[in-house]
Every structure is written in C-alpha cells, then in structure tokens.
Amino acid sequence: MRGSYTNTVEILIFLFLGAFLIQIASGETTDISCIHCHSAEVKELAKSVHVTANISCADCHGGEIHISGTTISINVMSINFTGIPERTNISDLCSKCHPEETRLYKESVHWKELEKGHTIAPTCTDCHGAHDILSSKNPQSMTYSGNVPQLCASCHANQTKMSAWYYGIQTDRFDTYKNSYHYKALVSGGKGVATCPDCHENHDTKNETDPTSSIYPANLPATCGKPGCHAGQSVRIYGGKIHEGASVYLLSIDAKKLVTYFYMLMILFEVTFTLGLIFLGISSKFEIRRRE
C-alpha cells in the first residue's frame, strides 16, 4: 500500500511539474497566482467594489501585471513590487483613484496625528477595509450608515487607543451618542438619521477648536441645517445635544466624575460616622453595666 501511495504522489508531482514547464514555455503561468499564498485576501477582494472596477492585486501592491481572468501570474513580484504599504503611505496609494477623498483626508485631524507619528490614528483601510471594501450602501459594509457609529466607537470608545493616540480625547462619545434621539431613531429603523460623519464629516474630520471644523461652535447651525438634516431650522435647533449626558469639564476636570466622587465620599463618611456612633453607643452601655 505504501509503495502504491508513493508512486501516486510521484506521478502527481511529475504531472504538475510537466504542466508547469509547458506553461512557462508557452508564457502561460496564470495558475501560479496570488491566490496560492493569499487565498483569504483574494477571496475578500472578489467580494469588493474593486473587482467591478477591474482593480487587481498589482494595482495596490505593485509588480508586473499579467492578468488572465481573475488570476495574476508568478511574475507579479518581478518588477516594482511594493508589498504591504506603510500606514503613512496608504492614503497616497488610494489617491491614485480617489484624489479628492485623499485631499480631504490630508486636512483631517486623523492624518495630522498619523503624520506626527501616532500610528494608531486611522487611515483609509481602518474605515473602509483593506481587501473586502464594500459600497457604503451595502448593509454589510463598515461605512454603511447604520454601522458607522460602531466603526467610530472601535477607536473612540477604546481607552487604550485614545491614550496612545492623543491624550485628552474622551471615550464616552459613543455612549453619550446612544442616549441621543438620533441613535434611538437609528436603531428603531429610521432612515437618514444623523450618525458620526453627518456632524464630523467623512474624510476631513477636524477638532472642534479648528475654525474650519464642521463642529466649531460658529459652524454648528450650518452643519445641523444642511440639506437632508434640519434645513431652514438651524437657528432654532442650535444648541441641541447630540451627545446626551456628555461630560462637563472645569479646568480640565470632569465635573460629572467630580460630583460622583463627592457623593461617594459623603456616603462613605455618613455610613462610617453612623457605624461609629452605634459602636460608641454599644460600648457606652457595656461600660455602664461594668461599672454597676
């Protein structure tokens, strides 16, 4: 049995090598492709919007392009192969097809922090995916309106990421948004309900202290009153809460937490004081009886 098995394996190897040599001689080597080593990535790419746009592996990772159907030849790594791009280079790579989105992203706080060396700051692939990029109209997409709050929360509700990226960013933004009318309407099946990018913009997200930011106090009426939201009502709704129950800060101190800690200490003091009085009362009775 072992000899028969060995012979079968040898025959299969011989046939494979023979077919491979014939293909090399004829210039057809498309069966030795990216999918042989990166099957998971290629399968993800096959589901993405890039396939319909005829974007191949080599368009993003470089190399000599020899496309036949959906496969790429072994020569893909022979010329100008770049492999996995650095995080600071991903936006430049995407700009080849998405110049306007990249221009806006380069104005954002995300890019500025990434440029400073805070590599945990998001780049294109963090929000859109690397290979399985889906249309924002697809409910399975990370950028689908109903999924965006959770996408943003993956960073902004993460204490470790926020501390590592930029000290001062509060991690209660998602929780306080969930208390708002917008989120409650969203999870109830509401359409066109405001999510994070509707207020903070998609690619050019900026800090609220930036005068060009969509959430800069002077710009809020225009942000809330833009078409599709509260057009014509911007002045009246200005001042409404998007993040219900958001923290209030006094001299960089979270006032809500300060009040919470104050009451906790007061309760602890009162309980301790009461127990102390009870203990003294019981001790006094024992002392009186002892003296009698």
Residue 274's pLDDT band, with cuts at 50, 70 and 90, is very high
- Flag whether pLDDT at 132 surpasses 80: yes
Question: Against a cut of 0.75, is the pTM above it?
Answer: no
In this predicted structure, the answer to whether residue 283 has a pLDDT above a threshold of 80 is yes
Residue 121 has pLDDT above 60, yes or no: yes
233 φ, ψ to 5°? Answer: -125, 15
Does the pLDDT value for residue 66 go beyond 70? no
Contact between 66 and 75 under an 8 Å Cβ cutoff? The reply is: yes
Q: Which of 84-93, 203-212, 245-254 has the lowest mean pLDDT?
A: 245-254
Q: Which residues contact 5 (CB under 8 A, 6 or more apart)?
A: none
| DSSP helix/strand/coil, 253 | strand
Query: Distance between CA 127 and CA 89 in Å, rounded?
Result: 16
Let me know: does 8 contact 51? Beta carbons within 8 Å.
Answer: no
Domain boundaries, given as residue ranges, for the chain: 2-77, 131-246, 251-283
Average pLDDT on 231-249 reads 59
What pLDDT score was predicted for residue 25? 42
Tell me what pLDDT residue 139 has.
92
> Range with the lowest mean pLDDT among 125-134, 205-214, 216-225?
216-225
Please name the amino acid found at residue 13.
I
Q: What is the pLDDT of residue 16?
A: 42
**Across residues 136-153, what is the average pLDDT?**
92
Q: Which of 9-18, 52-61, 90-99 has the lowest mean pLDDT?
A: 9-18
Task: Give the pLDDT mean for 76-93.
Answer: 83
SS (H, E, C) 112-133: HHHHCCCCCCCCHHHHHCCCCC
Q: Write the pLDDT tens digit of every residue in 251-266.
A: 666 666 777 788 889 9
Average pLDDT over residues 85-90: 91
CB 53, CB 135: distance < 8 Å: no
**How much is the pLDDT for 29?**
37
pLDDT tier at 143, thresholds 50, 70, 90: very high
Q: Report the distance separating Cα 243 and Cα 290, nearest Å.
A: 64
If you average pLDDT over residues 171-180, what whole number do you get? 85
**Which of 184, 199, 203 lies closest to 229, judged by CA?**
199
Q: Is the pLDDT of residue 287 over 50?
A: yes
Query: CB–CB of 268/275 below 8 Å?
Result: no
The pLDDT tens digits for 146-158 are 999 999 999 998 8
Per-residue pLDDT, averaged over 154-163, amounts to 85
In single-letter form, the type of residue at position 184 comes to K
Give the pLDDT of residue 193: 86
Computed over every residue of the chain, the mean pLDDT equals 78
Quick check: 292 pLDDT over 90?
no
pLDDT at 141: 94
Which of these ranges, 20-24, 47-51, 226-230, has the smallest mean pLDDT?
A: 20-24
22 pLDDT band (50/70/90 cuts)? very low
pLDDT value of position 275:
92
